[in-house]
Amino acid sequence: MRIGGKLYVSRPISAGIFLSYKCSGECRHCMYACSSRWSDDWISEKDLEEVLSQLSAFIQPSPLGPDKVGINYGLHITGGEPFLKFKLLLKAVRIAHELGIPSIFVETNCFWCTTDDITRKRFLELKDAGLNGVLISVNPFVVEHVPFERIDRAIRIGRDIFGANVLVYQEIFYEQFKSLGVRGTLSFEEYLRMAGFRGLMFAELLPMGRACYRLGHLFEKFPARYFFGESCVADLTRGWHVHVDNYCNFMPGYCGGISLGDARDLNSICGGIDLEERPILKFLARDLKELFEFAVKKFGYEERRDGYVSKCHLCLDIRRHIVMRTEGFEELGPREFYFHLE
């Protein structure tokens, strides 16, 4: 909600915590522009404790109970790829569990599921530490760098250990890859050759983050003015499925590269953000046209001739242009995000 010159962010009822932006792969659709090229920065145990203890007061369980999981409930531990630092992941689960946070799950691309033994051992250790479930990413972009057998193994063994608390995201691709008999990795071009565009029509492919640049050719494009008049106040202030990264940036929803403040001090965020101190947030809360005009006037931004696939593409392209020219906006962070989009 925006009242006067302040932005009031709702208390977070469900959240994801990034252990790092570092990933074993580099998906073309990644909303947070993760990859193996990122700095090897990981959240510290101290920050984990501070952030999770603040979140623990607000996080709500799945409607099915605190031992059950759901994408928009509870706490998910994510990245980047959290299994790249398994001990840190284990620590994060322990801290969250000891704080009484409900519906805890971890999100993975399964790169590490090289044998049945390793997969079972790690899932069991995490379950013992208090993990309630797992979200397994299955889509044509992950399978470009993770052999399908590893994903299949994680789902099979995950279901043995966590039962119905294995979220396969997205089930439609899992079934499609099985019916196509996919083995090993598969390039996106080869996937399209085998399956056509039909599967993608049912997929949730959000035109945000890296997808705007690497998958722009799949979407219809519009001129900037098409998105003028749109306000992002609801996206910026919602309390569900927010994210906190390893630098303690509190990110609204899926808006990679936007920081509402330091998640170790939730009161300063939920108690009202002074929009005069955060002009980019002010423009976004009012009208994307204001952000566009500001960027044109102050930073020489030029509208893309080929257009934009979504309002988030316009927003992101402008933010990236500004970040390349100044470090003056705290709300545009982490800066490195903007260097891994293409």
Residues that bind ligand SF4 (CB under 6 A): 23, 25-27, 30, 34-35, 79-81, 109, 137, 142, 208, 232, 235, 255, 258, 284, 311-312, 315
Q: Find the shortest distance in angstroms from Cβ 16 to ligand SF4.
A: 11
244 phi-psi bin (left φ>0, alpha ψ -120 to 50, beta other): beta
- CA atoms within 13 A of residue 113's CA, in its CB half-sphere: 24
Cis-peptide, bond into residue 334, ω within 30° of zero: yes
Q: In what order do the strands lie in the sheet with 133-137?
A: 166-169, 133-137, 104-108, 74-78, 14-18, 242-244, 250-251
Q: Find the shortest distance in angstroms from Cβ 193 to ligand SF4.
A: 22
Q: Find the shortest distance in angstroms from Cβ 14 to ligand SF4.
A: 17
3-state secondary structure of 128: helix
Closest CA to 41 of 210, 193, 213, 248: 248
Q: Over the Cα atoms of the chain, what is R_g?
A: 20
Q: Which is nearer to ligand SF4, 68 or 168 (CB)?
A: 168
235 Cβ contact list (under 8 Å, min separation 6): 252, 253, 255
| CB contact at 8 A, 247 and 303 | no
Q: Which is nearer to ligand SF4, 35 or 60 (CB)?
A: 35
Interatomic CA distance for residues 100 and 123, integer angstroms: 20
Q: Which is nearer to ligand SF4, 34 or 106 (CB)?
A: 34
Q: Find the shortest distance in angstroms from Cβ 254 to ligand SF4.
A: 7
Q: Which is nearer to ligand SF4, 30 or 93 (CB)?
A: 30
Q: Find the shortest distance in angstroms from Cβ 145 to ligand SF4.
A: 8
3-state secondary structure of 169: strand
Q: Which is nearer to ligand SF4, 102 or 209 (CB)?
A: 209
Q: Find the shortest distance in angstroms from Cβ 146 to ligand SF4.
A: 8
Q: Find the shortest distance in angstroms from Cβ 142 to ligand SF4.
A: 5
Closest CA to 185 of 151, 134, 136, 135: 151
Q: Which is nearer to ligand SF4, 18 or 162 (CB)?
A: 18
Q: Find the shortest distance in angstroms from Cβ 246 to ligand SF4.
A: 13
Closest CA to 9 of 294, 310, 261, 341: 261
Q: Which amino acid is at 7?
A: L
Interatomic CA distance for residues 93 and 85, integer angstroms: 13
Q: Which is nearer to ligand SF4, 102 or 288 (CB)?
A: 288
Q: Which is nearer to ligand SF4, 81 or 245 (CB)?
A: 81
Q: What is the largest CA-CA distance in the chain?
A: 59
> Quick count: other Cβ atoms within 10 Å of Cβ 184?
10
